[in-house]
């Protein structure tokens, strides 16, 4: 009448649970997304993402150094230009003296190869219409014209010192176009973390405040439909065939099934992005006393790792690395 199999034996103490844990979470698995903004004199907290800041170039140096000291695996940098510097082509994104490239050069000078410096290779922060590419006369995003802009942006980011570029615009052929341009310019060692399965998500809202987005409408014509799974695998396979060094699933929370399937088929490392909405929801619930903040953060990150992510981009990267 009593069970002979008792799995609870291996859960009895913290030491036993640690001994048999199937999934690990280490600082090296975590990448910290960071924002560097033009036209501000002091760091500016993002109201919808409490604890996350738009940095000045000077404060970026300090925050990045602290994150690296904590052991994070890398830093993903986004640029926030002044609104008057935006235009229809997003030229500030490829300008060597634009805020993103200034930030990349600063990190490269300060940190060198002690961490992995990653760059967001997308135009949305820099366009006055807020889309990830160049618009056609009818208002749609022109895929091939956008590739020409990505190529310019990629080479400028490589020149600025990025180790990995993050093409996130979901344009067809973007990985191949960037790879060809990097190789032609002599940057054969600069890699790509391709945003291969990036969905048109409602959970990006706080991020749009973080980068001062000018977007009106949505990006459903180029980001993936949340109803589709096979399409994501096609996108992943195409990016790998085009030369992606790593692939990413974004967002993480609502797409863990996509992350698992990607990890099962990918010959290259797989990343997942715990996005702004995920950060803000946990933060807000914790501030209301509804959940245990630190436990929820760790549980969410372990869940992303368990689903197959080799690398997790999270706004808690530096803090969690400190805990670990």
pLDDT tens for 9-18 read 999 999 999 9
Domains identified in the chain and CATH numbers: 25-247 (3.20.20.70)
Give residue 150's pLDDT: 97
Taking the CA of residue 126 as centre, how many other CA atoms within 13 Å lie in the half-sphere pointing to its CB?
Answer: 25
Lowest mean pLDDT among 3-12, 234-243, 305-314: 3-12
- Confidence tier at 311 by pLDDT (50, 70, 90): very high
The radius of gyration computed from the CA coordinates of the chain, to the nearest angstrom, equals 20
CA angle 244, 247, 252 (to 5 degrees): 165
| Whole-structure pTM value | 0.95
Q: Which residues are catalytic?
A: 198, 250
- Confidence tier at 288 by pLDDT (50, 70, 90): very high
Which distant-in-sequence residues (6+ apart) come within 8 Å of 22 by Cβ? 306
Is residue 242 within 8 Å of residue 178, measured between CB atoms?
A: no
Cα(228)–Cα(18) distance, integer angstroms? 37
Q: Tell me which residue of 114, 250, 130, 131 sits closest to 194, measured CA to CA.
A: 250
Which distant-in-sequence residues (6+ apart) come within 8 Å of 279 by Cβ? 49, 52, 206, 314, 315, 316
């Amino acid at each position: 009448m009593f069970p002979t199999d008792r799995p609870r034996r291996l859960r009895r103490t913290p030491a036993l649970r640690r001994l048999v844990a199937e999934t690990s979470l280490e600082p090296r698995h975590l990448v910290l997304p960071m924002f560097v903004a033009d036209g501000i004199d002091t760091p500016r907290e993002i109201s919808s993402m409490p604890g996350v800041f738009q940095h000045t170039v000077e404060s970026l140096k300090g925050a990045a150094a602290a994150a690296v000291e904590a052991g994070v695996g890398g830093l993903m940098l986004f640029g926030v230009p002044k609104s008057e510097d935006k235009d229809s082509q997003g030229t500030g994104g490829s300008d060597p003296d634009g805020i993103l490239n200034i930030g990349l050069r600063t990190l490269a000078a300060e940190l060198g190869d002690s961490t992995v410096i990653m760059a967001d290779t997308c135009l949305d922060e820099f366009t006055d219409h807020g889309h990830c590419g160049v618009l056609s006369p009818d208002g749609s995003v022109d895929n091939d014209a956008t590739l020409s802009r990505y190529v310019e942006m990629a080479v400028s980011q490589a020149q600025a010192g990025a180790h990995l570029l993050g093409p996130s615009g979901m344009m067809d052929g973007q990985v191949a176009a960037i790879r060809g341009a990097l190789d032609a310019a002599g940057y054969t060692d600069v890699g790509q973390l391709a945003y291969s399965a990036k969905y048109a998500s409602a959970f990006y809202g706080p991020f749009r405040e973080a980068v001062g987005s000018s977007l009106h409408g949505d990006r459903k014509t180029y980001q993936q439909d949340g109803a589709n799974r096979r399409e994501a695998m096609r996108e992943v396979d195409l990016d790998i065939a085009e030369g992606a060094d790593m692939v990413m699933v974004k967002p993480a929370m609502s797409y863990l099934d996509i992350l698992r399937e990607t990890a099962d088929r990918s010959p290259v490392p797989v990343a997942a992005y715990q996005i702004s909405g995920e950060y803000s929801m946990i933060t807000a619930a914790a501030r209301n006393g509804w959940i245990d903040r630190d436990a929820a953060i760790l549980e969410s990150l372990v869940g992303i790792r368990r689903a197959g992510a080799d690398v997790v981009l999270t706004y808690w990267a530096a803090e969690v690395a400190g805990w670990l």
